[in-house]
Amino acid sequence: MLATAAFQAGDSARANGAAAQADRWFEVLGPLSIGGPGTVRNLVLSIVVVVAAVVLRRLLLRAVDQKVAEARARYRWSKTSSYVAFLIATIFILAIWFEGMGNIGTFLGLLSAGLAIALRDPVADLAAWVFIMTRRPFDLGDRVQIGDHAGDVIDIRIFQFSLLEIGNWVDADQSTGRIIHVPNAFVFSKSLANYTAQFEYIWNEIPILITFESNWRKAKQLVEGIAASQAGDVVEEAKRSMLRASRRVLIYYSTLTPAVYTSVQDSGVSLTLRYLCRPRQRRGSSQSIWEAVLDAFAAEQDIDLAYPTQRLYVNPLEGKAGARAPLPDEWDRRRPTEPDGAGQPGTPAPP
């Protein structure tokens, strides 16, 4: 009996010691808690929720990788699953730490007010991300220009999107190799140009300058033939693309065939070729056309490319017959004579 009593007394003392130890831990963790002694339980449950979300997402992505071969589709699954896992985990954690919808509503109200004041730019980026994902002003792989930056869209995240830069010190919209990270809020404050959305072609122009003495009519016919052979194959594709685009936006061109326009510049006659091409084929198509033009002009004796030059123009010798100035030896014969009384008859009038 004494042994039993002593054993029970020892158990009671150990229980009291454990309770006292737990109270001390709660006192230490008390400032971090919202609900008192339940903080440890909430922490454990929150960790379980996070781990479960990560594990389930990885299992989902492993299954997707086995069944989906397209890289873009796998990328979308990865991005979407990360957003969904984060949202679900946040909801569960809020439900763990805040009991009752009243507390959650109060917390969200205070949080939104604080974010609106202290985190104005990130909130604007988040709102712009929602706009990008719903309205789709651009998508992955599109070539866009926003403000001073242009490039191919390679990533879209909650607060920013990334471009593989084109242009800058590189001509003809070629890639520079740099990656530019652009805040999503730029879609609200800057003009956005999309090269590939809706209508998948752009108009490109090549100015060709020939001398005034060249046979510009023949040169124009040669350029038109080259354009028809080099750039004319995209006309039918462009018509189908325009038909698809016209179902969503008001876009219409009366003609899609290449055209050559004539104008006069300081150094010669300018023949401007205007044709359709895909945005990423601009430089290649321009090179093909220029090579064909150089070969065609080299075979003609009455066509020369123009360039800045200095020349002496003698109007009496080179001007048109009816617009030439008289030569010095002809000037004396053309000067009028003074009337009688103003000098000797037949005497040339002073210049």
Residues 152, 166 contacting (CB under 8 angstroms): yes
Q: In the chain, pLDDT over 90 holds for what percent of residues?
A: 28
Alpha helices in 211-327 (DSSP H): 216-230, 235-246, 282-298, 315-318
Report whether pLDDT(46) > 90: no
Report whether pLDDT(262) > 70: yes
More confident residue, 67 or 142: 142
- Split at pLDDT 50, 70, 90, the class of 110 is low
Query: What is the mean predicted confidence (pLDDT) over 187-216?
Result: 91
DSSP assignment of 1-48 equals -HHHHHHHHHHHHHHHHHHHHHHHHHHHHGGG-SSGGGHHHHHHHHHH
> Tell me: the pLDDT tens digits for 117-136?
666 777 788 899 999 999 88
Report whether pLDDT(43) > 60: yes
Report whether pLDDT(37) > 80: no
Report whether pLDDT(4) > 50: no
> Tell me: the pLDDT tens digits for 271-292?
999 999 988 888 999 999 999 9
Domains and CATH numbers, the chain: 34-118 (no CATH), 137-194 (2.30.30.60), 199-337 (3.30.70.100)
Report whether pLDDT(109) > 80: no
Nearest residue to 208 (alpha-carbon basis) of 258, 280, 137: 258
Round to whole Å and give the CA distance between 345 and 351.
17
Report whether pLDDT(90) > 50: yes
Mean pLDDT of the chain: 79
Round to whole Å and give the CA distance between 181 and 309.
46
pLDDT value of position 325 = 74
Report whether pLDDT(56) > 70: yes
